Structure 1
Amino acid sequence: MSLGALAAFLFIAGVAAYVQTITGFAFGLVMMGLIALVGLLPLPDAAAMVGLLTLVNATQMMLHGGRHHVARHLLRLVLSASLPTLVIGYFLLEWLADTRADALKVVLGIIIMASSLQLAVQRKALPRQSSDASFVGFGIISGVMGGLFSTGGPPLVYHFYRQPMPTAKIRETLVAAFGAAQVVRLSLVALSGNIPPPSTLAGVAAVPVVMGMTYAARRWPPPLSAAALKVVVFVLLFLSGVSLALPAALRLLGV
């Protein structure tokens, strides 16, 4: 990774950490979307680095908020479904990266656009907690997305924040789920021998950047209303998704 590429990577990581801390999700989406958009890294290497930084961000948030609010039953349901499908998603990424790079970009772009729409939709709390089966279902979707791109957050964020539960319990349960998923994904990377090359591993320099921007977002939130911030993040994600998916789709269609 050249000095310029490293600087761009650090900048993207900082922006993603800040957005994640303010909005509650989107770290992986912002990082993967911008990295893929500018062609900074191959997608498998980018997903590995995003997974590492997501784990750092989740650990920092967990240490800051504690673990006593975690909804352990719901966490077990989600992980029982998401971790096996994460393995499937991971090996699907390896196959697509070798044979269908443009198809992979289309899939990632669609995921980013669909996930960004969550910010534009007003979530209403349900009158009672959803069934256990629903948490398993959303866990399956999250696992596949997490295995593919280290972006398993949006399905769970959408489902959990509709539950009639305290915000602290939702947040800490999600952070625990994201952290566990990244431990498994990074283990898969190591066991399959797909550790990014040394030049890419220079990206670990982003760890203090992520920690610093997470602290900065808590200490100095932006002078914007929550609604205005959601609009900014929505536009950023949606446009990056379109910019990523459209050229790849045109190439697949031979246009």
Structure 2
Amino acid sequence: MSLVALIGFLALTGGAAYTQTLTGFAFGLITMGGVGLTGLLSLPDAALIVSVLTFVNATQMLLKGWRDVAWREFRLVMLTSVPMLFVGYWLLEWLAGTRADLLRFILGLVIIVSSLQLARKPEPLARKSGDGSFLFFGSIAGLMGGLFSTAGPPLVYHLYRQPMPLVTVRETLVTVFALNAVFRTGLVTFSGDLPSWSTLSSLLAIPVVMGATHAARRWPPPLSPATMRRVVFILLFLSGVSLGAPAVIRLLAAA
């Protein structure tokens, strides 16, 4: 990775960490969308780096917030999330080898759908959802986590609808992301698919992520939560369209 590419990646992950600390989501989406648009890294390598950085961000947040985690719902989500993470990782390896444009289209579509979903303010439920719903959304989160290290959107939407304190929702989400990141990083390591030493230089983003996380907690922007969600929505939607549209054009031309 060149010095210019490394600086660009550090700036991208810093912004993503700052956003996730404020909202509880979007780190993987912003980072993977930015990588897909700029080509700073291959998508499989970027997904591994995102997993490591997600764990760093989550650990820093949970040092103080672990008491607020909804542990019962967390266990339900992880019960299906972990097996589906393996399925998602297998799909990534299969698509990355021979179907790069299809992979970019899928990532772009995931980002667009996620942005539209997150732009809507979830209507709160009067009663907590049943166990089956947490199992279902956990499986979708695991599949997306295995593919792109972006386990958030479906689970974010589901948890934000629950009659639980917002701090509980945020810390539960962060804990899910952290454990998924551990499993995904371990899977890549045991599969022998570690990137080159040059690519691993992107792990210099770790102190940047830590600094951005601290900055977001210490100096949050003077924006309302609704405005912050709109900003994230616009960024994600535009990056998803920019990433997916060229891939669709190439796929149609090759058909």
TM-score range, shorter chain: over 0.9
Q: CA deviation at 1:186?
A: 0.2
TM-score by length of 1: 0.97
Question: Structure 2: which amino acid aligns with 1:159?
Answer: H
Q: Matched residues in 1 for 2:112 and 2:34: separation?
A: 13
Q: CA deviation at 1:145?
A: 0.2
1:53 to 2:53 alignment: yes
1:89 to 2:85 alignment: no
Q: CA deviation at 1:71?
A: 1.8
What whole-Å deviation, never above 9, does each CA across 1:100-155 have from its counterpart, x for those lacking one?
Answer: 10000010001101111123212111000001001111011101000000000111
Q: CA deviation at 1:195?
A: 0.7
What whole-Å deviation, never above 9, does each CA across 1:9-31 have from its counterpart, x for those lacking one?
Answer: 10001110111112221000000
> Where do residues 125-144 of structure 1 align in structure 2 (5 Å cutoff)?
125-144=124-143
- 1:31 paired residue number: 31
Q: Matched residues in 1 for 2:125 and 2:225: separation?
A: 21
- 2:210 paired residue number: 211
Q: Are the aligned partners of 2:24 and 2:174 in contact in 1 as well (CA < 8 Å)?
A: no
Question: Structure 2: which amino acid aligns with 1:235?
Answer: I
Q: Matched residues in 2 for 1:237 and 1:231: separation?
A: 10
Q: CA deviation at 1:227?
A: 2.1
Q: Matched residues in 2 for 1:46 and 1:218: separation?
A: 26
1:165 to 2:146 alignment: no
- 1:10 paired residue number: 10
What SS does structure 1 have at the residue aligned with 2:253? coil
Q: CA deviation at 1:35?
A: 0.6
Question: Structure 2: which amino acid aligns with 1:14?
Answer: G
Question: Structure 2: which amino acid aligns with 1:35?
Answer: V
- 2:41 paired residue number: 41
Gaps of 5+ in 1: none
Percent of residue pairs identical: 60
- 1:21 paired residue number: 21
Q: Matched residues in 2 for 1:213 and 1:161: separation?
A: 24
Q: Are the aligned partners of 2:118 and 2:153 in contact in 1 as well (CA < 8 Å)?
A: no
1:25/1:98 CA distance change after superposition, 3 Å: same
1:254 to 2:253 alignment: yes
- 1:74 paired residue number: 73
Count of residues in correspondence between the two structures: 254
What SS does structure 2 have at the residue aligned with 1:68? helix
> Where do residues 83-232 of structure 1 align in structure 2 (5 Å cutoff)?
83-232=82-231
Q: Matched residues in 2 for 1:210 and 1:199: separation?
A: 19
Q: Matched residues in 2 for 1:44 and 1:161: separation?
A: 29
Q: CA deviation at 1:175?
A: 1.4
What SS does structure 1 have at the residue aligned with 2:67? coil
What SS does structure 2 have at the residue aligned with 1:124? coil
What SS does structure 2 have at the residue aligned with 1:254? helix
Question: Structure 1: which amino acid aligns with 2:6?
Answer: L
Say which is worse superposed, 111-120 or 188-197, in terms of deviation: 111-120
Q: Matched residues in 1 for 2:229 and 2:79: separation?
A: 31
Q: Matched residues in 2 for 1:23 and 1:34: separation?
A: 19
Q: Matched residues in 1 for 2:81 and 2:184: separation?
A: 11
